[in-house]
Amino acid sequence: MLLDAVVDHPDCGSLATELSMREDHFDDVKAHVAGCLETLDRKRAEAGLRDLIVQLRAAEREGGVEDARMVDAQGNESRLPTAGRISTGMLSLVKE
C-alpha cells in the first residue's frame, strides 16, 4: 500500500498519515477534482502573467521598447484562453 511506503518518510510521512485519516465527503467527487485542477491551472497562469510583468518592467527600465512590446504581446496571448479566469483589470501590460 502507498501509505505503508511513505509513512516513515521524514517529509511526507505525517502529511500522508493525516490525509489518509481525513474523511472528506464531497457530493460530486469529479466536480471537486475538476475545480481543484481549474484552480491549479488559474494559479499557474497568474504566476506566468506575474513573471511577464516582471520582464516587462525590466525591459522598460532598460529602455528596450521593442522588448517591452514583445513581452506585452506574450502577456496578451497568454491571457486570451484564460480571460474569464484571471482578473487582472488590465487591457495591456504596456503603459500607454
Does 3 reside within a domain?
A: no
pTM for this model (two decimals)? 0.47
Does 11 reside within a domain?
A: no
Q: Does 87 score more than 70 pLDDT? A: no
Amino acid at 28: D
72, 94 in Cβ contact below 8 A?
yes
Question: How confident is residue 13, by pLDDT bands cut at 50, 70 and 90?
Answer: confident
Residue entry with cell 500500500? 1
Higher-pLDDT residue of 62 and 32 is 32
Model pLDDT for residues 47-56, shown as the tens digit of each residue: 988 888 888 8
Model pLDDT for residues 22-38, shown as the tens digit of each residue: 877 778 889 988 999 99
Does 4 reside within a domain?
A: no
Q: Provide the domain limits for residue 70.
A: 26-79
94, 82 in Cβ contact below 8 A?
no
Give the single-character DSSP code of 44.
H
Q: Does 80 score more than 80 pLDDT? A: no
In the chain, how many domains are there? Answer: 1
Please count the other Cβ atoms lying within 10 Å of the Cβ belonging to residue 52.
20
Does 5 reside within a domain?
A: no
Does 59 reside within a domain?
A: yes
Q: What cell numbers appear for 61 in the block?
A: 527600465
